[in-house]
Amino acid sequence: MTQLTTPPAGAPAKTPAPAPKRRRRGSGFGTMRRREKLLRYALLLLALVVTVGPFVWQLSTSLKGAGENIYTSTPQFIPSDPTFDNYLRVAETIPVLSYAKNSLIVAAMTVIGNAVGATLAGFALAKLHFRGRTLFLALVLGTLVLPGEVTIISQYVTVRSLGLADTLIGVALPTTVAMLNVLLMRAAFMAIPDEMDEAAVIDGASAWQRLIHVGLPNVRGMLSVITIFAFIGAWDDFLWPLIVLTDPQNYTLTVGLQYLSGAFTANPRVIAAGTMIAFIPIVIVFATLQRFFFRGVEEGAIKG
Amino acid sequence: MKTQRWFTPWLLLGPALVWLLVFNLWPAINTVVLAFTNAKPLGGGSFTGVANFERMLNDEQLVYALVNSIVYMLVCLPLLLFLPLLLAVLLEKKLPGITFFRTAFYTPVIASAVVVALIWTWLLEDRGLVNGLAQQLGFLTEPLPFLSGRWLLLFSAISLTVWKGLGYYMIIYLSALGNVSRQLHEAAAVDGAGPIRRFWSVTVPGVRTTMLLVSVLVTVSALRVFTELFVLTNGTGGPGGRTMSLVMLIQMYSRGFTGHLGYASALSLLLFVITVGPMLLLLRLNRKAA
């Protein structure tokens, strides 16, 4: 690998015409030197071990049978006799399937609520003129200054007074229409040029028709971004369901997992299997939709 | 453009308006109201004046929580300011397979904090992988009890937060790196500056604004930390409840017979006071970027 570090720069001396181009190559831009490439891959692999290694270790632990020593000082990443026993043990200890169902119900309510609520409001704020619009926007923006944890106690008081404490609706309700998503959808609708809309207005289209035929086809990108974020946010959330839910029957997966690790003398294999049950679905969602995901992050869908 | 009926916008705005009022504005107002009452999870709630705030002054646990928050912030800041930037620099070159690495590095971000904290509990256990490897390689002679003791617990939680945050800030830096002048890099290289020199004198100044954004984001999230500490200490807050965060205290007072929603609301107001500065700055930075 070392012999390739300098050569291209030396060559052009004989043929003066293409010299500038070649020299730029030699300095390491455009095409990269092989040594740098190898170094980069080595560092990338190191970072991969650090970031993904713990998940692999957990997956491996979850597949190790009762007969395999999981504490050995020479870590064994490949289970000697892989088994799904630990996953069955999770199901025997906690009602993990109904927890997963609960998480899914909460996530579904949040996704649908945000998709509908934020789209309608975003369209109205971006494309319709009416009194009170500026005030509404100012209030929405004002709410972003509050971290969710600040109002979590009074949210609980509200949910309790609605008779929804210890219910899944109570878990989903406060974030069913998130103000940040309203702002993001508004930005998406504002990016549609007015000329596209004007034709529809001249043709006498109603606000509703403009939303369906002009608006929606042009905001699909942002709509998928907010639904993915809503799903992951609801699926991963811990603090709020922990406060709202009291009956172990109603737990979502994250609260149930904490319950699994706290209430019983912990068997690391079973807890590992439990974490994988919560982790794998979100990885699948993420892996299939990551294209939208990264675009969303780059477009500023960053939750403070 | 005034072709719609007057109520059409309000029909469309309806759900968002309800949620704005019921689940955003009202809780904000009610937090202030509750902070002056003795409301309990099981009812009650008469006006008690500034009793909750007086209680705060004599709350030893609160002092621990605030000190923990400051340590959390001070340790997280430098690490999350530079490590993700290094990752982003590594991902910047369009090498084959780079998309795979980017996605993989982001995985800890999308995993639930509970899942991550349980994985780390297993890694950091006395007989876990970290202690095992450290002993194997001769860094340690006997296992380090990462999960007991106030400070070790706190630093374990911090390492977890840093690990989970790497990918998040990496993506933010990655989009900022696109704006760093390529010519400047080339000029520096022609002048004989090595990669480390160029990192400090071209890359870092080029992402200055983003570094400000990242440091504000890190500050706010360090002040809001909950799940990492809760799961690593199994909900206890460590020995004597000294490894708690402010949000953990708020949660603790939210339930059970010993719960005190009034006091929890007063603590929430305190959280608001210490986060409002960075949050306003964040809003400004985001608006400027947009």
- B63-82 pLDDT per residue, tens: 999 999 999 999 999 999 99
Note whether A235 and B112 are within 8 A (CB): yes
Instruction: State mean pLDDT over A118-129.
Output: 92
User: Per-residue pLDDT averaged across A69-93, rounded?
Assistant: 83
Alpha-helical runs (H) found in chain B: 8-20, 26-34, 51-57, 60-92, 98-110, 113-124, 129-136, 150-177, 182-190, 195-198, 204-206, 208-223, 227-232, 246-252, 261-289
Length of chain A: 304
Do the chains contact at B255 and A246, CB–CB below 8 Å? Answer: yes
**What pLDDT is recorded for position A13?**
38
pLDDT digits (tens, 9 = 90+) for B154-204: 999 999 999 999 999 998 898 888 877 778 888 888 888 888 888 888 888
Instruction: Give tens-digit pLDDT for B5-33.
Output: 778 888 999 999 999 999 999 999 999 99
Which amino acid would we find at residue A136? Answer: F
Written as six digits, the tokens of B290 are 């947009």
In this prediction, residue A113 carries a pLDDT of 97
Q: Would you place residue A1 in the very low, low, confident or very high pLDDT band (cuts 50, 70, 90)?
A: very low
Q: Indicate if the pLDDT at residue A4 is higher than 70.
A: no
Task: Give the tens place of pLDDT for each residue, A21-46.
Answer: 444 444 444 456 888 889 999 999 99
**Interval A84-112 mean pLDDT:** 93
Cα–Cα distances in Å, from B237 out to B61, B74, B150, B231, B244? 10, 20, 9, 9, 5
Q: Which of A120, A109, A258 is nearest to B15 (CA)?
A: A120
Q: Is B37 helix (H, G, I), strand (E, B) or coil?
A: strand
Distance of CA B246 to the CA centre of its chain: 13
Contact present, B187 and B165 (Cβ < 8 Å): no
The pLDDT score that the predictor gives to residue A207 is 84
Cβ atoms within 10 A of the Cβ of A232, count?
Answer: 20
Using alpha carbons, list the distances in angstroms from residue B274 to A258, A288, B23, B228, B265: 29, 39, 22, 20, 14
Question: Which two tokens mark B25?
Answer: 């504005």
**pLDDT score of B194:** 82
Between chains, do A179 and B19 touch, taking CB under 8 Å as contact? yes
Most A-contacting residue of B112, B139, B140, B214 (CB-CB within 10 A), to test interface: B112
Among B residues 171-230, those touching chain A with beta carbons less than 8 Å apart: 171-172, 175, 182, 185-186, 189-190, 217, 220, 224, 226-227, 230
Give the gap in angstroms from C-alpha B267 to the nearest C-alpha of chain A. Answer: 8
Cβ–Cβ under 8 Å, residues A122 and B3: no
- B78: which 2 tokens? 């430098």
Task: Tell me the two tokens of residue A3.
Answer: 């012999």
CATH for A90-298 (3.30.1200.10, 3.20.10.10, 3.40.50.2000, 1.10.3720.10): 1.10.3720.10
**Crossing angle of helices A268-298 and A96-127, rounded to 10°:** 10
Residue A28 is predicted with a pLDDT of: 45
Helices (H), chain A: 7-10, 19-26, 34-62, 85-93, 96-127, 133-143, 152-161, 168-172, 179-190, 194-202, 207-210, 216-218, 220-236, 239-244, 253-263, 268-298
**Band (A235; pLDDT cuts 50, 70, 90):** very high
Task: Answer yes or no: is pLDDT of B272 > 90.
Answer: yes
Tokens representing residue A260 in the block: 């699994």
B42 and A CB contact within 8 Å: no
Domains in chain B (CATH in brackets) are 46-289 (1.10.3720.10)
Task: List CB contacts of B131: < 8 A, sequence separation 6 or more.
Answer: B124, B125, B140, B143, B144, B146
Share of chain A above pLDDT 90, in %: 49
Could you say which residues from 48 to 87 on chain B have a Cβ atom under 8 Å away from some Cβ of chain A? Answer: 87
Highest mean pLDDT among A83-87, A217-221, B13-17: B13-17
CB atoms within 10 A of CB B23: 22
